[in-house]
Amino acid sequence: MGDTDLFQSLKGGLIVSCQALDDEPLYGAETMAKLAKAAQMGGAIGIRANTTQDIMAIQEVVDLPIIGLVKKEYKDSEVFITPTINELQELINTDVDIIALDATDRKRPNGEELKDLINLAHCSDKYVMADISTFEEGMLAVKLGADCLSTTLSGYTPYSPQSDEPDYELLKRLVQYSPVPVIGEGRVSTPEQAREILRFNAHAVVVGSAITRPQLITKRFVDIINEEEEENEQESINKSKLRVND
C-alpha cells in the first residue's frame, strides 16, 4: 500500500487498540486476535497492537492496516513504547504498516536517540507514528521525519497536563501546525469524545480501553453507579442538616 493510500484509508476513521499486558485478564495473542476481529466487524479501519505475537495472530484474522508497537521496560529510562532498536527491529521483521514509538523528550534506554530509530524504520520501508505528550515533542518528531503524530502520551509524562479527558488543546495545536497527519489518542472513553476529536480535524482517532479492556469498562459503569449513591447520601446528609437548621 502506498503512502497516500495507507493514510487515506485511515482518514476520519476509528482505529481500535487491542492490547492486554501479561497481568491483565484478556492477555494472550489468541484473545487479542478475537478482539481485533470484533473491531473490524464493528467498523474499525485500523488496529493498534502490542508485541509481535499479538500482531501476527491479529493479521491471521484481520486485513486492516496495523500500527505495531512493542512495550518494554528498561531500568535506565521511563520510555517503554518501542523504546530501543531491539524492539524496533522485532517490528520491522513483521508485516506491520506503521510502527508506533515513544517520541517524548525523555532519555531513551542505552543512550539511544529518536532520530536513529526513525531512520532505521524508514530504511526498512516502515512508517513511523510518533507518540508524543506535548506540542514541542510533536514538532521535533516531525523535524526528525515522523510520518504521523499521535497524542498518546499526553498525561503520561509528568510535564504534560494530567487529566481524565483527551488532550483537545494539544490536538488542536498540532493539527494547526503539523505537516503530517495527527492522530487523536489517549483517554478517549466515549463515542462523543471520539467524535469531538475528529471534529477538531484529527486524521483519525484511536480508542483502546473503552472498547477492549472490559475490566476498565466495568469499572467505569461501577464508578458512575456509585457516584450517584454518594450523591444521594450527600443529599440525605444535606437534607438532615437542613432539618436541623429549620
* Binding positions for a second copy, rule: CB under 8 A: 12-14, 16, 24-26, 28, 31, 34-35, 37-39, 41-44, 191-192, 194-195, 198-199, 205, 207, 210-225, 227-229
Closest separation between CB of residue 19 and a second copy, Å?
A: 13
- The nearer residue to a second copy, 17 or 157, going by C-beta atoms, is 17
Closest separation between CB of residue 161 and a second copy, Å?
A: 24
Q: Please report, as a single letter, which amino acid is at residue 46.
A: G
Closest separation between CB of residue 175 and a second copy, Å?
A: 16
- The nearer residue to a second copy, 91 or 210, going by C-beta atoms, is 210
- The nearer residue to a second copy, 225 or 244, going by C-beta atoms, is 225
Q: What does the block give as the cell for 165?
A: 479527558
Orientation angle between helical segments 168-177 and 191-199, nearest 10 degrees: 30
- The nearer residue to a second copy, 130 or 202, going by C-beta atoms, is 202
- The nearer residue to a second copy, 107 or 219, going by C-beta atoms, is 219
How many whole angstroms separate alpha carbon 112 and alpha carbon 89?
A: 14
- The nearer residue to a second copy, 118 or 210, going by C-beta atoms, is 210
- From residue 198, alpha-carbon distances to 153, 170, 182, 183 in Å are 18, 14, 10, 9
Residue 157 DSSP code: S
Lookup result for grid cell 529510562 = 77
Closest separation between CB of residue 37 and a second copy, Å?
A: 4
How many whole angstroms separate alpha carbon 116 and alpha carbon 128?
A: 12
Closest separation between CB of residue 192 and a second copy, Å?
A: 7
DSSP per-residue letters across 5-42: HHHHHHTTEEEEEE---TTSTT-SHHHHHHHHHHHHHH
Determine phi and psi for 48, rounding to 5 degrees.
-110, 130
Closest separation between CB of residue 65 and a second copy, Å?
A: 16
